C-alpha cells in the first residue's frame, strides 16, 4: 500500500507539470488552430530565466521565500513577453496562410530557441548568455525539508509544487470561464471573424493567450528545476512532446481536458515505471497518443467539428 501511495504522489506531481505545459498548447490551438511546437522551448527559457534571476538575487548564498517569489513571478513575466514576441513576429504575419506554413514556422522557432541557447557565450557573467550546451545547476530557492507520512516520502518542494500547480490551474479556469477576457478568448476560439465584428480586439486576445500559456510553461519549468536541479537547452524537448500528447488525450482546445490529460499521463508513466518496466516510461506517452487517435481522435473532452469546404 505504501508503494502504491508513493507512486500516486509521484504521478500526481509529474502530471500537474504536464498539465501546466499542456494548457499552453490547448489555449493556443483553441484561438489559432495552431500546434505551437515551440512551446516546449519556452518552458526551457523559463528555467534559464529563473536561473539568471536567482543568480542576480544571490539565491545560492542567501535563499529566502521572497527571492523565490521574485524568481517565480519574474520568469513567468519574461516568458509571457517571449510568447507575445513569438506570436507577433513569427505567427501573426502567417495567420492568413495555410496552417502548414505556421506549423513549419513553429518548428523553426523551436530549433531557433534550442540551438540559439547552445551558441558560445556572447555576454560573460556567473552564468554567461547564451548559456551553451553545458547543463547548469539550478539553486534551491529555499531549504529542503523531507517528510514521511504513512511511509510515503514527500518533500516540502513536492507539496509547494503540487499546491502551486493546482492553484494556477484553478486560476486559469477562473480567467477563462469567469472574466471578460475569458469570454473574448472563447469567442475568438469559436469564430475569430465574427468576434472581430462584435468589437473584440482579436490580436490583443491572441497575444494575451500566448502570454498566459507561456507564463504557465515558465511556472512548470521552475517547479521542475526546484526539485530536479539540472537544466539544459534541450530540457523542453521531451516534456513538450509529452504535454502535447496530454493535450491531445484530453481533447486539444479544451482547458479541463488538458488538465485531465496531464494528470492521466503522469499517473500512467509512474505506475508503468513502478510496476512494469521503467524503460517504458517515455513510451507510454506515445502509446496513449496512438490509442487516442485510433479510438477517439477528438480526445476525451473534444468534439469533432465539421469544416466547410
DSSP string, 214-278: HHHHHHHHHHHHHHS-EE-TTTTHHHHHHHHHHHHHH-TT-HHHHHHHHHHHHHHHHHHHHHS-G
Structure-model confidence comparison of residues 89 and 143, the more confident one: 89
Report the pLDDT averaged over residues 264-291: 82
Query: DSSP of 26-87, one letter per residue?
Result: HHHHHHH----TTHHHHHHHHHHHHHHHHHHHTTTTS--HHHHHHHHHHHHHHHHHHHHHHI
For position 283, what pLDDT does the model report?
Answer: 82
Between 123 and 96, residue with greater pLDDT: 96
Q: Is the pLDDT of residue 278 over 70?
A: yes
Residues contacting 143, CB < 8 A, separation 6+: 63
Please report which helix (H) or strand (E) contains residue 26, including its range: helix 2-32
What's the confidence (pLDDT) of residue 305? 64
pLDDT (0 to 100) of residue 53? 92
CB 169 within 8 Å of CB 161: no
Residue appearing with cell numbers 500528447:
245
Please give the share of the chain, as a percent, with pLDDT higher than 70: 96
Distance of CA 112 to the CA centre of its chain: 18
Whether residue 204 is predicted with pLDDT greater than 90 in this model: the reply is yes
Rounded mean pLDDT, 182-188: 90
| Helix or strand (DSSP H, E) at 147 | strand 146-147
Lowest mean pLDDT: which of 95-99, 116-120, 127-131, 300-304?
300-304
Lowest mean pLDDT among 34-43, 63-72, 268-277: 268-277
Is the pLDDT higher at 101 or at 146?
101
- Mean pLDDT for 283-296 is 81
250-265 per-position pLDDT tens digit: 887 788 888 888 888 8
pLDDT given for residue 42 in this prediction: 94
pLDDT of residue 205: 93
At 85 the pLDDT is 95
Tell me how far apart the alpha carbons of residues 246 and 249 are, in angstroms, rounded to a whole number: 5
Q: What is the pLDDT of residue 70?
A: 92
**pLDDT-based confidence at residue 156 (cuts at 50, 70, 90):** confident
Mean pLDDT of 128-140: 85
Residue 125, pLDDT above cutoff 70:
no
Mean pLDDT of 85-112: 91
Which pLDDT value is given to residue 306?
A: 61
For residue range 227-241, list pLDDT tens digits in order: 777 899 999 888 998
What confidence tier does 307 reach under pLDDT thresholds 50, 70, 90?
low
**Tell me, what's the pLDDT at 3?**
82
Residues 15-21: what's their mean pLDDT? 88
pLDDT of residue 108: 94
| Section 69-93 average pLDDT | 93
Q: pLDDT tier at 308 (50, 70, 90 boundaries)?
A: low
Amino acid at each position: 500500500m505504501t508503494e502504491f501511495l508513493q507512486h500516486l504522489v509521484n504521478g500526481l506531481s509529474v502530471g500537474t507539470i504536464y498539465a501546466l505545459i499542456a494548457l499552453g498548447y490547448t489555449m493556443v490551438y483553441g484561438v489559432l488552430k495552431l500546434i505551437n511546437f515551440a512551446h516546449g522551448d519556452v518552458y526551457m527559457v523559463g528555467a534559464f530565466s529563473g536561473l539568471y534571476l536567482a543568480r542576480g538575487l544571490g539565491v545560492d548564498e542567501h535563499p529566502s521565500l521572497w527571492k523565490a517569489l521574485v524568481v517565480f513571478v519574474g520568469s513567468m513575466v519574461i516568458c509571457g513577453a517571449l510568447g507575445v514576441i513569438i506570436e507577433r513576429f513569427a505567427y501573426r504575419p502567417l495567420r492568413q496562410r495555410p496552417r502548414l506554413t505556421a506549423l513549419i514556422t513553429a518548428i523553426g522557432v523551436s530549433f531557433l530557441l534550442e540551438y540559439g541557447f547552445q551558441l558560445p557565450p556572447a555576454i560573460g557573467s556567473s552564468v554567461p548568455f547564451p548559456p551553451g550546451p553545458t547543463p547548469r545547476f539550478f539553486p534551491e530557492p529555499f531549504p529542503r525539508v523531507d517528510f514521511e507520512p504513512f511511509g510515503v516520502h514527500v518533500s516540502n518542494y513536492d507539496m509547494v509544487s503540487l499546491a502551486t500547480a493546482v492553484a494556477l490551474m484553478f486560476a486559469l479556469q477562473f480567467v477563462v470561464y469567469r472574466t471578460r477576457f475569458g469570454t473574448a478568448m472563447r469567442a475568438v476560439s469559436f469564430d475569430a471573424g465574427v468576434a472581430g465584428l462584435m468589437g473584440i480586439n482579436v490580436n490583443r486576445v491572441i497575444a494575451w493567450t500566448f502570454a498566459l500559456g507561456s507564463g504557465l510553461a515558465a511556472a512548470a519549468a521552475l517547479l521542475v528545476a526546484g526539485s530536479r536541479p539540472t537544466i539544459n537547452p534541450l530540457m523542453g524537448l521531451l516534456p513538450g512532446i509529452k504535454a502535447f500528447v496530454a493535450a491531445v488525450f484530453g481533447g486539444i482546445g479544451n482547458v479541463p481536458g488538458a488538465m485531465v490529460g496531464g494528470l492521466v499521463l503522469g499517473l500512467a508513466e509512474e505506475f508503468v515505471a513502478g510496476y512494469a518496466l521503467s524503460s517504458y516510461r517515455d513510451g507510454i506517452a506515445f502509446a496513449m497518443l496512438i490509442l487516442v487517435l485510433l479510438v477517439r481522435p477528438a480526445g476525451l473532452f473534444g468534439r469533432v467539428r465539421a469544416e466547410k469546404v
